[in-house]
Amino acid sequence: MRLHDRVAVVTGGGRALGRAIALRLARDGADLILAAPEENEIGQTADEIKNLGRRASAVVTDVTRDDEVASMADRALAEFGRVDILVNNAGIIGPTAPVTEVSRDDWDRVLAVNLTGAFLCTRALLPGMIRRRSGRIVNIASTAAKNVTSLRSPYAASKWGLIGLTMTVAKEVGKHDINVNAVCPGPVEGGRINTVIANQAEQQGRAVKDVTQDYINQTLLGRFVPADDVAAMVAFLASDEANNITGQALEVSAGWRM
């Protein structure tokens, strides 16, 4: 219970990787605020967390909207009194297309969710951490922010930007004993990577199984990453065991190499 009685906000905490992160933090003793636009999904995850004996609140939030993020932060403080941990996990995969075929609307939407959302949540919750001289922020980036990724320019740009945000905020708030890091997952098992692969296969005119094998071959361990392994890294970075880790972008990628 290394996170006993700490309070964490997880954006996009209702499904897939966000759900895995939220449940792992709860198992390590944290109480949770789940922020996402899908009420049913975060409600179900909140119920699972309560069944683990922890407190949980599901707050419907569009992280691209200043007012909704501010309301989420106010509710978190009203219900729990503080926020010790912020996990900026909300994200979308965006289009799979050559940059010349990416619409402005798609570009703006990916940057708004994946990067601006993290900025807004950080801006809303950081002042309380600064006052207490304590806090952890973990941004979920991607190996797409460390390697060349074709046909996914909005997504790659958003994740490169998220690492830049991570490093900048870490430098600003280190004097307040606040740790800020990014986790860069490789291909994580589940529906999201399956969609990405299907879209890549369509764009390239190839079979899904062949593109899937390409992804596997690009990892040194020859496999996709379970969501629970990424969640374990997040829980570690949120704990006292990571007191002297900040300003880092750490991979959980099975050795992903392009």
**Whole-model pTM?**
0.96
Task: Name the band, by pLDDT with cuts 50, 70 and 90, for residue 146.
Answer: confident
Over residues 155-167, the pLDDT tens digits come to 999 999 999 999 9
For every residue of 5-45, DSSP letters joined together read T-EEEEETTTSHHHHHHHHHHHHTT-EEEEEES-HHHHHHH
Residue 51 has pLDDT above 70, yes or no: yes
Q: What is the mean pLDDT of residues 67-75?
A: 98
- Write the single-letter amino acid at 50: K
- Tokens 């951490």 -> residue: 129
Q: How many CB atoms lie within 10 A of CB 102?
A: 18
How confident is the model at residue 202, as a pLDDT? 92
Which residues are designated catalytic?
Answer: 155
Task: Name the band, by pLDDT with cuts 50, 70 and 90, for residue 49.
Answer: very high
Backbone dihedral region for residue 245 (phi beyond 0: left; psi -120 to 50: alpha; all else: beta): beta
- Tokens 């899937």 -> residue: 212
Q: What is the mean pLDDT of residues 106-131?
A: 98
> Using an 8 Å Cβ cutoff, are 182 and 162 in contact?
yes
Close Cβ partners of 85 (under 8 Å, ≥ 6 residues apart)? 3, 6, 7, 8, 9, 25, 30, 135, 136, 137, 138, 238
How confident is the model at residue 1, as a pLDDT? 87
What is the domain partition of the chain in residue ranges? Answer: 7-188+226-252
Q: What is the mean pLDDT of residues 186-197?
A: 92
Please say whether the dihedral angle defined by the alpha carbons of residues 245, 57, 65 and 70, taken in this order, is positive or negative. negative
Collapsed DSSP state (helix, strand, coil) of residue 58 = strand
Over residues 4-25, the pLDDT tens digits come to 999 999 999 999 999 999 999 9
Over residues 88-117, the pLDDT tens digits come to 999 999 999 999 999 999 999 999 999 999
Task: Name the band, by pLDDT with cuts 50, 70 and 90, for residue 258.
Answer: low
How confident is the model at residue 149, as a pLDDT? 77
CATH number of 7-188+226-252: 3.40.50.720
Q: How far apart are CA 208 and CA 199, in angstroms?
A: 9
> Using an 8 Å Cβ cutoff, are 76 and 129 in contact?
no
Close Cβ partners of 83 (under 8 Å, ≥ 6 residues apart)? 7, 8, 9, 33, 73, 76, 77, 125, 128, 129, 135
Residue 68 has pLDDT above 80, yes or no: yes
The strand pairing partners of 185, in sequence order, are 252
